[in-house]
Structure 1
Amino acid sequence: MAEAWKQTALLVIDMQKDLILPYSPAAVKGGEAIVPNVIKAVELARNRDLPIIWVVREHDSLGRDVELFRRHFYAADKTKLVVKGSSGAELVEGLEIKSHDYKLIKTRFSAFHNTNLHSYLQGAGISKIVVCGNLNLNININSFLRQTVFDAVSLDYDEVTVIVDATAAATSEIHCANVVDMKNIGVATPTLEEWCHANN
């Protein structure tokens, strides 16, 4: 690994079929469009020998671990989303968790909430994180990715980066507004091409 990339990890957030593909009521508009860039970001991370953390939602089929305000979606007559072991909880085609990657299961918006992500990163000597993936449940950026990013800043990671064209939101206006918010707290927001050429 190049010196510039030491202590850096890539987080890929919620790139699951039930959260990306258009058949799902939870799919983010434009989610499919970012899949190629997420694939490229993962390939680049592998080429740079960066640790890759796959952050996924997986829920109990009865919704017992789902936020209270969403539990009604797991009633008997509902189509349940990202249920552990279901095809909808799988990553979209083109993305694969390899044996040396790390899979982190979360049940809330932030990847840091009630998980071992922070301790895992500290144990691996990671002080810089790069984030890409799914942003929300068709509402706005701050459900998934933004919550994780704000928590990372609160936890004093040296650098937090979001690859802006490897993320999606319900509209371009929502995406842009939230990118501005993240920039305002010191988050770097390069395009994939800019990140590709950084520190080469």
Structure 2
Amino acid sequence: MWRVNPQKTALLVIDMQNDFVLEGYPMEVPMARRRIPRMQEAVAECRAAGIPVVYTRHILLDTFNVSPLETAYNPALLSAGMRKGSFGSEIIDDLKPGSDDVVIVKHRYDAFHNTQLENVLTSISGLRQVDTVIIIGTLTEVCCDSTARGAYMRDFKVAFVSDATGALSDEAQTATEKTIGTFFGRVLSTGELVAEIREGREGGAE
């Protein structure tokens, strides 16, 4: 089984926006808020290893309904949540992107869908050098899962971090981890991820 090679890896921080994380905000995910320390650990370790960090922001518009099926299934989003230009749509301060990080705006759950993400990954460390993505963030069972599948379909290896992703329920978290780990990638804890990154830095990994 493959292991995380920091020279061929990028970190994806999925939708850690104020509207998803802060208490009382429209799409609040308490599990995501509780897991911020593990996410911070993953980001810090990746930066220390020279692994590119890519953030996604899920954005809806007031000018027109850019994601009509999403709002059909969740009508509350017709009037609030992740609005372009709003405080709620911004990445939380605890995971604020750095000046060298990339931020991708998306309108669908899968961060690859109609975005520049694939172009970024195929060039950010040199032409087609990245073959693995680490996924942290929220929602585990929606945008993290969809992006993991999108990565798999494009032949990227997926390292899905179990304690640095946040779902709406323990059941959803467990079910997603089982599916990803069986069919679409590897499920690792933050500690396991850090160990593999450090091992790769010291001796190389494939």
Aligned residue in 2 for 1:128? 132
Task: Tell me the CA shift for residue 123 of structure 1.
Answer: 2.1
User: Which residue of structure 2 aligns with residue 39 of structure 1?
Assistant: 40
The whole-number CA distance in structure 2 between the counterparts of 1:144 and 1:69 is 12
Would you say 1:145 and 2:149 are equivalent positions?
A: no
TM superposition shift of 1:20: 1.4
Question: After TM superposition, what 4+ stretches of structure 1 lie above 3 angstroms from structure 2?
Answer: 71-75
**How many angstroms does 1:13 deviate by?**
0.2
Per the TM alignment, residue 198 of structure 1 is displaced from its structure 2 partner at its CA by 1.1
Query: What SS does structure 2 have at the residue aligned with 1:149?
Result: helix
Distance 1:198 1:116, change over 3 A: same
TM-score by length of structure 2 reads 0.85
Kept after mapping to 1: 8 A contact 2:59/2:106? yes
CA distance in 1, matches of 2:6, 2:107: 30
Q: Is the 8 A contact 1:135 1:144 kept in 2?
A: yes
Aligned CA RMSD, in angstroms, stands at: 1.8
2: CA distance between counterparts of 1:42 and 1:30? 18
Determine the C-alpha separation between the residues in 2 that align with 1:14 and 1:97. Answer: 12
Contact 1:163–1:190 (Cα < 8 Å) also in 2:
yes
Cα distance between partner residues in 1 of 2:158 and 2:77? 34
The 5 Å alignment of 1:4-23 reads 4-23=5-24
Tell me the equivalent position of 1:98: 98
Distance 2:112 2:13 in 1: 13
CA distance in 2, matches of 1:182, 1:126: 20
Is the CA contact (8 Å cut-off) linking 2:53 and 2:102 kept in structure 1? Answer: yes
> TM-score, structure 1 length as denominator?
0.87
Are the counterparts in 1 of residues 55 and 101 from structure 2 also a CA contact under 8 Å?
A: yes
In proportion to residue count, which structure has more helix? 2
CA–CA separation in structure 2 for the residues paired with 1:69 and 1:119: 25
3-state SS in 2 of match to 1:185: helix
Offset from partner CA, 1:91-115 (integer Å, 9 cap, x none): 1231111121101000000000111
Report the Cα offset of residue 135 of structure 1.
Answer: 1.4
* Larger RCO: 1 or 2 (CA < 8 Å, sep 6+): 2
Question: 1:67-108: per-residue Cα shift (whole Å, max 9, x none)?
Answer: 334065455xx3x21112111111123111112110100000
Runs of 5+ unmatched residues, structure 1? none
Alignment-mate amino acid for residue 139 of structure 2: L
Q: CA deviation at 1:25?
A: 3.4
- Give the drift of 1:39: 1.1
Indicate the SS of the match to 2:151: helix
Number of matched residues? Answer: 189
Aligned twin of 1:154: 153
| Separation (CA, whole Å) in 1 of partners of 2:98 and 2:26 | 29
Distance in 1 separating the partners of 2:132 and 2:95: 23
Structure 2: tracts of 5 or more residues without a match: 200-206
